[in-house]
Amino acid sequence: MNDPNGMVYFEGEYHLFYQYHPESTIWGPMHWGHAVSTDLVHWEQLPVALKPDHNGYIFSGSAVVDWNDTSGFFGGSPGLVAVFTHAKPQPGSEESLQSQSLAYSSDKGRTWTMFAGNPVITDERFADFRDPKVFWDKERSRWAMVLAAGDRILFYSSPDLKDWSYCSEFGLNEGAHMGVWECPDLFELPVEGGEGGGIRKWVLVVSIGADPDFPEGSRTQYFIGSYDGTVFVSDNPAETILWLDHGRDNYAGVSWSDIPAMDGRRLLIGWMSNWKYANQTPTDAWRGAMTIPRVLTLRSEAEGIRLIQAPIQEIRTLREPLVEMSDLLLSPGHNPLAHIHEGCLEIEVEFELLAATECGFSLKSGGEKRTVVAYHSGTETLYIDRSLSGITDFHETFACRHDARLIPKQGCVRMHLFIDHSSVEVFAGDGSVVMTDLLFPEPGSSGIELFAAGANVRIRTLRVFRLQSVWG
C-alpha cells in the first residue's frame, strides 16, 4: 500500500481506502484497497473498492458523504462519493494522463459504481494533476476541492460534485519545492492559547514527492492562512517551511471527512513510508503501513501558530501497564527498563534535564544495534538516530539521524512514544514536534534502555505500557 485515500466517517464506520497494488509488493497499477473500523484501532479488511478501468489506474483522492444528494446518484438519500485521479498510461511514455473522476456507493462503501460522465476535470497543461480532496463549504453551500498540479495547488468549487469551476491557485513561490506537490488537504481549525486564541485559521497540507537529490525523500509541509471559498492566502512569508513531521516516514497524510460535529476532531492518517525506499523495505508478503491516526489542533506558540498532533485517545484501549514511576533521579549508566523485552510499547515520560547533556531511549537494542530517540540539551533538539537500527542496507539513505528543535518548558521535556515491531512514532513537547520512522531491527534486538548522559536527569513521571495487537 501507499497513500491513505477517501477517509470518511459514515453510519458508524470509519472508512480507510488506500493506494494498493494487489499483484505485488512493488508499486504498479493502482487500485483502492479498503478497510473499515468502528474505533480507528481495529480494522476489518474489505474487498478492493476501485479497480482500474478504461480511464486508467486509480490514484489518490478523497470521499465525502453527499448528505443532500447534490449529485443525484442516490435518489434523494445520502450516499458516499469518491473523488479520485484516473491515471491513464500513455503509450511509449513513462507519464500518465491524469484527470479527476467520481465513483459512488449506496451500500456503505461495499460496492462502487463508476460515474458514466468520467472524467469530471481534465487539464492537459499539467502532467502532474492529481489527488483531489473535496469538502463541503458550508458558508457557500457548495463543494470545494484542492488538487495538486506539480508545483502548485489548484482550488475548485462545484454545486453537485460533477461540474467543477476553477477558482484559483496557490504555491508557485511558497514553501518547500523539493519535488512534485501531491496529496493536498484544506481545513479550518480554531487556534488555542496565546495571542491567536479565539480565532480560526485554515490549514493547507501539501506533500512533496522526492526529487532524487533531496536526501530526506518525500515529506509533508503545511501552510497556515485564510481561505474565502475561492482563494487561499498564507499568513507567513513565502520562504517559511512548516513540516508536519520531522521523521522520514509520514507521507501523503490527509484528514477524515464527515466526522460528526459532536466529535468535532480533525483526524489525520499518513502513509508510513518514503518514496526514497518504499519499494525496497525488507518486508515479506506485505509492504507499507499507515501511521497511528492523529488529532490535529492549532496552537499559538512563541514562533507563531503551529499544528499540534496527538495520538487518538482510542488507542489507549490497547494498553497493559508495565511500569509506573515518578520523581526518579536517573544517573548515567543505569537503566530502569532493563527487564523489559516487548515488541510493542507505549511510553509517556517527562524529563527534567538538570545538567545532563542527553536523555532518552535506546530502543530495539541488542549487541551493537539500537535506535536512539533522545533529547540533546546543548542544541535543544529531539532526535531519532536509526543508523544502527538493524537492517538498513536496502537503501543508502535509510541509516540516518534527524533532529528537530524542541524548546524545553520550565526545564522539562515530554515525550510520548509508540514503538511497534518496525516503527516508532514520537510525539514530543505536547505534540508540536512529531517524528515518525520505520525501523527494521533484527530478531534478537528486544532490549530497551532509558538513559541519561553527562549528568543526572530527573524523571518526573514515566509510564510504560505493553500494547496489545490490534489484530488479536
The backbone torsions φ and ψ at residue 275, rounded to the nearest 5 degrees and listed phi first, read -60, -20
Q: Are 293 and 268 in contact (CB under 8 A)?
A: yes
Supply the Cα-derived Rg of the chain in whole angstroms.
22
Least Å distance, CB 396 to ligand FRU, is: 21
- Residue nearer to ligand FRU on the CB measure, 246 or 276: 276
Distance between CA 431 and CA 296 in Å, rounded?
9
Least Å distance, CB 94 to ligand FRU, is: 13
- Residue nearer to ligand FRU on the CB measure, 4 or 311: 4
Picking from 26, 90, 441, the residue whose alpha carbon sits closest to that of residue 275 is: 26
Least Å distance, CB 148 to ligand FRU, is: 7
End-to-end CA distance of the chain: give it in Å, rounded.
22
Picking from 412, 12, 13, 15, the residue whose alpha carbon sits closest to that of residue 4 is: 15
Which residues contact ligand FRU (rule: CB under 6 A)? 2-3, 19, 30, 59-60, 85, 130-131, 182-183, 209, 252
Least Å distance, CB 185 to ligand FRU, is: 13
Distance between CA 134 and CA 143 in Å, rounded?
7
Residues comprising the chain, all counted = 472
- Residue nearer to ligand FRU on the CB measure, 60 or 392: 60
Q: Are 462 and 323 in contact (CB under 8 A)?
A: yes
Distance between CA 81 and CA 230 in Å, rounded?
22
Q: Which three cell numbers stand for residue 429?
A: 513537547
Least Å distance, CB 442 to ligand FRU, is: 29
- Residue nearer to ligand FRU on the CB measure, 220 or 456: 220
Least Å distance, CB 209 to ligand FRU, is: 6
- Residue nearer to ligand FRU on the CB measure, 1 or 419: 1
E strand or H helix that includes residue 342: none
Q: Specify which residues 461 forms β-bridges with.
A: 326, 350
- Active-site annotation, residues: 3
Residue 466: CB partners within 8 Å, gap ≥ 6?
319, 320, 322, 342, 344, 345
Picking from 358, 343, 360, 331, the residue whose alpha carbon sits closest to that of residue 447 is: 343
- Residue nearer to ligand FRU on the CB measure, 19 or 389: 19
| DSSP state letter for 328 | E
